[in-house]
Structure 1
Amino acid sequence: MTHPTDIPRDRGAMALPATLHTALQLAEQGLPVLPLREGKGPMGNCRACQKNACGGRPNMKTPGPCKCPAPCHAWAAATTDPRILTSAAWASAWRQAAAVAYHPGGAGVTVVDLDNADAVAWARQNLPATRTVATTRGEHWIYLGTMASANAVRPGVDIKSLMSYARWLGPGTGTVAPLPDVVQALAVKEPAAVRPASRPVAAAALPRGGECPHRSPAYLERGIAMAEQRIEDAPDGIHRAVYRMFLAVLSAHGRCGCLTDKHIGRLFTAAQTKGESLRHCEDAWTNARTQLGM
């Protein structure tokens, strides 16, 4: 599947929101699409799917059994089905949408997101030429083939492919080249590209052999649930709210070994549902660990 090269503009669907109009055209070209709200974040999950209560898409890794018709679960909602895109369940999202995104992995491509001029200069010296799309601060380089997505593989460089989304900014210029080994190696060589939510917390053992002082799993469960609720209820300043909750959870549970990948994944899901980007989640988690000396 290739990236679209030309998007027709005379479809006569002027009554549609501009974002939906664009999304339908992209879907015809084979790109799974989804709406983005202001701030380039996905639409939040509906009430039934908040905190992944629907039981589907665990940790947003698989489609799962969830049958929700709304544009829930971020990148996992991306679709090429015009019936879904134009459904009543998606209508409100398109009216609110500030932009259109697509799932690169679902389209069979990888996006190397170059976030500034230095990153673009590095790519021109080190990566094979391919199709490029101008962004507000840098460029997207599009390669044919998929891989695991990874953030901050080097300064100003993210990789968006499987389990990720990229903002649609136009067809770009140039011919799409095959995904090179040098791009795939970026995610392998840099430990910073691993999602904090996908690995256990590395924390020093407590005295007395690292015995957990909480005695009951209910204490941890209440702490995680409270953090999720406070992130969800944050009226503004979401960056600060997420950092404060990550810091609170780590300070209470990060050193005794009772904090698991599942708990961390719940915190990340709550933050992303509220509109926080994965990159900001990872930064907040790293900063909280650094603050606590973990």
Structure 2
Amino acid sequence: MTQPTDIRRDDQRPSERLRTALDLAASRIPVLPLRAGKVPFGNCPACANNACGGRPNMKTPGPCACPGPCHAWAAATTDPHVIDSGIWRRAWLCASAVAYHPGGAGLTVVDLDNADAIAWARKNLPVTQTVPTTRGEHWLYLGAMQSVNAVRPGVDIKSTMSYARWLGFGTGAMTALPDTVRALAGSKPAPVQPAPQPLTVSAPAGGGECRHRTPAFLERGITMAEQRITGASEAVHTTVYRTFLAVLSTHGRCGCLTETHVSRLFTAAQSKGESVRHCTDAWTNARTALGM
């Protein structure tokens, strides 16, 4: 992979982030902007509630032709005319970081979130290109695979259907994706039921017309949402986001949804290995997508 020149980390001004994105795209690395909180931009009004058919929630990009960066990893592109277009240029003005789609570049990122995870990787994984992060390191391997969260404590795999912040090229030579990393996706241990953590988001305020004739309708909806999350066998993070989106779309505008209901959804997601941060991000993205 050709390394673009003069690429800085993500503490950049908007013009520098755009220039970084264009340089990466020239090296065939699909890029997208991230807003505050290191999350993608929410769906535009035309794509709200996946009215367009959606892209990030499908196993392959779908039919949406939205010109904006509003479909998370699936919006990542190497087309300089898109990256430097009017709607993307406006996104770069308020973006907080540059991200890229590792799988789209034929790469896999082993995201090591703490010192213990780094120590494990140094003992068990082949040496490869290493990029320091805020709390740990990204180990980059040449080759794509499925993305999986929490394959070990503090270890996520980011490749297809995922994104990672661009933090520079780091140091070292990139190694071919080894079987030891691929095996992590298939040997992910069954998640331990976590103790519910304090709720970090609030239920939406009411104000809309209530369409729920009985409390049983809401209860059935929350129960079905819990079952959908806990029954997911793959793409858990995507399932959590889609479920949050569906719940908010149906119950989020009239004030019937309470913090108790939201806490139940978060608990279900945590039982599948999702962190509170991932739950909060998914909830926030779903609200943004619906214009709440």
- Gaps (5+ residues) in structure 1? 194-236, 272-281
Aligned partner of 1:229 in structure 2 is none
Structure 1 residues 9 and 187 mapped into 2: Cα distance closer, same or farther (>3 Å)?
A: closer
Corresponding residue for 2:159?
Answer: 161
Seen in structure 2, the aligned counterparts of structure 1 residues 84 and 254 have a Cα distance that, compared at 3 Å, is closer
> Are residues 1:125 and 2:123 paired?
yes
Q: Distance in 1 between matches of 2:63 and 2:202?
A: 31
State how 1:2-41 maps to structure 2 within 5 Å. Answer: 2=1, 4-8=2-6, 17-41=15-39
Change (3 A) 1:69 1:137: same
Number of residue pairs the alignment of both structures matches: 228
Unaligned runs of 5+ in 2: 192-197, 204-217, 233-237, 248-264, 274-292
Q: d(CA) in 2 for partners of 1:144 and 1:128?
A: 12
Is the alpha carbon distance of 1:286 and 1:65 closer, same or farther for their aligned partners in structure 2, counting shifts above 3 Å?
closer
Per the alignment, residue 266 of structure 1 pairs with 242
Partners of 1:128 and 1:180 within 8 A in 2: yes
- Does the Cα contact within 8 Å between 2:146 and 2:160 map onto a contact in 1? yes
Contact 2:100–2:166 at 8 Å: present in 1 too? yes
How far is the alpha carbon of 1:55 from its aligned partner?
Answer: 1.3
Report the Cα offset of residue 67 of structure 1: 1.0
1:105 is matched with which residue?
103
- SS of match in other structure, 2:64: coil
The alpha-carbon deviation at position 60 of structure 1 amounts to 3.5
Matched, 1:64 2:62: yes
* Pair 1:286-2:269 in alignment: yes
Question: 2: CA distance between counterparts of 1:288 and 1:128?
Answer: 31
Letter of the 2:201 partner, please give it: R
Structure showing the higher helix proportion among its residues: 1
- Map 1:201-212 to 2 at 5 A: none
Distance in structure 1 (CA, Å) of the matches to 2:42 and 2:127: 36
Task: Give the secondary structure class of the aligned counterpart of 2:150.
Answer: strand
| Cα-to-partner distance string for 1:130-175 (whole Å, 9 max, x where unaligned) | 0000001100000010100000000000000000000000111111
SS in structure 2 of the partner of residue 151 of structure 1: strand
Deviation at 1:285, TM superposition (A): 3.1
User: Which residue identity is paired with 2:25?
Assistant: A
Deviation of the 1:270 alpha carbon: 6.6
Whichever residue aligns with residue 267 of structure 1, its letter is T
Q: Distance in 2 between matches of 1:260 and 1:121?
A: 33
Q: Equivalents in 1 of 2:99, 2:109: separation in Å?
A: 12
1:18 CA drift (Å): 1.7
User: Please, what TM-score do these two structures have when normalized by structure 2?
Assistant: 0.68
Tell me, in whole angstroms, the C-alpha distance in 2 between the residues paired with 1:140 and 1:263.
25
Cα distance, 1:168–1:265 mapped onto 2, change above 3 Å: closer
Rounded Cα–Cα distance in structure 1 between residues aligned with 2:220 and 2:111: 31
Once residues 175 and 31 of structure 2 are traced to their aligned partners in structure 1, the CA distance between those partners, rounded to angstroms, is 22
**How big is the shift at 1:17?**
1.7
The correspondence of residues 193-208 of structure 1 with structure 2, limited to 5 A, is: none
Q: Deviation at 1:287?
A: 3.7
Distance (Å, rounded) in 2 between the aligned partners of 1:264 and 1:20:
31
